[in-house]
């Protein structure tokens, strides 16, 4: 009887050990990340955020500090596995597009202190994700001076060149840092453009529908001269533009400095 009990006990112990190894292997596979993008290997990105920077005019020091703080909060609030890309508005089409994607990995705040090395997770988060993403942002947050501001065209280039964004069915978010003053051949607020004039133009036929159900956050940079007599024209245009794209109504925050 004693021998049988000992055998049963040994089998149970081996079963527990085997189950622990299986669970550990499954956890390891589930948490495995792509070496370049840091996106989950098994599922790919779980959400996507694309940030477009329209900074052809300089920011004041206060606006610059506000912007970095707000983008940092966007990153901090994003779910683990969210893919980030950045793009700029430029009169030079060769500068349009998206930076290489980076997914948000586990951050130290979510570390299990009993089974994980919080300090190592923090180091990896900063060196592999947050540091590189912030460096890209800092390199792009600088005024270059330009005669044109093709916001719509640059946005579509960012969306098109962000891997998987157009067909992604999970949560999608667009963040625009801009004065909203579209100025290109398709539409120019400086030439008196409105939604009605755009809708009557040939440019309207080129309008894509690539933002279905996307959330839109706009950090509006106020300029000393905003180029149009009635700011309501800007609001009306962009609400209609994103509605036509299938996106949610934009949430606008002004980056003031007074």
- Model's pTM, two decimal places? 0.85
Q: Are strands 82-88 and 102-103 parallel, antiparallel or unpaired?
A: antiparallel
> Does residue 26 share a domain with residue 101?
no
The predicted pLDDT at position 126 comes to 95
Distances (CA, A) of 258 to 2, 60, 222, 229, 255: 83, 11, 11, 21, 10
Based on the fold, state whether residues 53 and 104 are members of the same structural domain: yes
Domain carrying residue 13: 1-31
- Are the CB atoms for 198 and 182 separated by under 8 Å? no
Torsion of CA 167, 172, 176, 181, to 10 degrees: 50
Residues 17 and 66 in one domain: no
Q: Are residues 25 and 39 in the same domain?
A: no
> Same domain, yes or no, for 5 and 87?
no
Q: How many domains does the chain have?
A: 2
* One pLDDT digit (tens) per residue for the chain, 258 residues: 556 565 455 445 444 444 333 333 434 444 699 999 999 999 999 999 999 999 877 888 999 999 999 999 999 999 999 999 999 999 899 999 999 999 999 988 777 777 778 889 999 999 999 999 999 999 888 766 677 899 999 999 999 999 999 999 999 999 999 999 999 999 999 889 999 999 999 989 988 889 999 999 999 998 765 667 788 889 999 999 999 999 999 999 999 888
């Amino acid at each position: 009887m004693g021998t049988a009990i000992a055998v049963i006990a040994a089998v149970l112990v081996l079963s527990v050990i085997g189950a622990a190894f299986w669970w550990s292997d499954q956890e390891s596979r589930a948490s495995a990340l792509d070496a370049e993008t840091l996106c989950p290997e098994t599922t790919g990105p779980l959400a996507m955020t694309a940030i477009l920077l329209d900074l052809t005019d300089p920011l004041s020091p206060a606006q610059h500090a506000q912007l970095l703080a707000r983008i940092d909060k966007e990153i901090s609030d994003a779910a683990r596995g969210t893919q980030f890309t950045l793009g700029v508005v430029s009169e030079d089409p060769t500068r349009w597009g998206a930076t290489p994607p980076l997914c948000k990995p586990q951050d130290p705040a979510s570390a299990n202190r009993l089974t994980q090395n919080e300090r190592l997770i923090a180091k990896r988060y900063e060196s592999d994700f947050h540091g590189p993403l912030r460096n890209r942002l800092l390199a792009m947050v600088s005024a270059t001076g330009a005669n044109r501001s093709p916001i719509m065209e640059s946005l579509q280039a960012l969306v098109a060149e962000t891997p998987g964004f157009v067909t992604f069915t999970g949560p999608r978010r667009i963040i625009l840092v801009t004065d909203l003053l579209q100025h290109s051949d398709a539409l120019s607020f400086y030439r008196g453009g409105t939604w009605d004039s755009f809708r009557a133009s040939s440019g309207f036929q080129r309008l894509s529908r690539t933002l279905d159900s996307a959330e839109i956050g706009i950090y509006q940079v106020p300029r000393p001269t905003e180029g149009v007599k009635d700011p309501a024209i800007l609001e009306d245009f962009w609400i209609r533009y994103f509605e036509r794209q299938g996106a949610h109504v934009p949430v606008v925050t002004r980056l003031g400095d007074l």
